[in-house]
Amino acid sequence: MQATCTGEPYILRRTKHRSHRGTRPVGNNGKVFDRIRRPRDVKNPVTPPLLRHVVVAGGELDEWVAMSSQQWDERISLLAGVAAAHGARWVSVFPFGSRSASETTMEPIVREVSGVRVSVSPHADGRRRIADTLRGSTGVVFDERSVEELLHGEAGEPDLVVVLGPPDRLPPSLVWELAYSELVFVPVDWSDLDADRFDDALGVYFGRERRFGGVDE
């Protein structure tokens, strides 16, 4: 199933079965389902979800490498400014896909702007990113919590993943991040992402009731 909402961006909620030693409910294995906002009950108002960590997935590595330092400064400032206005403290940026990290000389970028830590990671294959992270770790007992800490540190798993592209494809650069995060698809190219579209995507998140992979009863 697929939800098409009036206006942009499109909205899709995806769950993926994975055990977790916390209190988060687990959704059906690999099920993709519509996330339709229900009218709020006046007697039982829905508390808006908190937003701490946002992931943006868009563009190809060739586009990223071609960007100048000034263009990256402007893009990072844009993302940080909008995220800060919504209370987020971390923004992670990944390409949608294409070449692997070993095929580009681009280095990761980490900046702090407006109180928001923005991390740009040129990994097009999420599986390889996880494998490389685990391979470089010693003396660690691997479980869901330790892997999360290795991948995201203090930021933790993302609350929201903003995908730049049509709502019928998921970015191969993300694997772990798709289990419990809310997904918002913005049908624009990486070069066309502006503050208004990014602000709208974050606004969609605050209109949802998060269930961390659970389904409506």
More confident residue, 93 or 138: 93
* DSSP classification of residue 172: T
CATH homologous superfamily, domain 49-206:
Decaprenyl diphosphate synthase-like (3.40.1180.10)
Domains of the chain, by residue range, sit at: 49-206
Q: Is it the case that residue 104 has pLDDT exceeding 80?
A: no
Closest by alpha carbon to 76, among 202, 60, 166, 67?
A: 67
pLDDT in tens, 26-62: 333 333 333 334 444 444 555 557 899 999 999 999 8
Between 156 and 8, residue with greater pLDDT: 156
Backbone angles phi, psi at 109, to 5 degrees: -120, 135
- Stretch 103-125: mean pLDDT: 89
Q: What is the DSSP letter of 97?
A: B
Q: In angstroms, rounded to a whole number, what is the distance separating the alpha carbons of residues 89 and 84?
A: 7
pTM greater than 0.75 (yes/no) = no
Using an 8 Å Cβ cutoff, are 20 and 26 in contact?
A: yes
pLDDT band at 210 (very low <50, low <70, confident <90, very high): confident
pLDDT at 119 > cutoff 50: yes
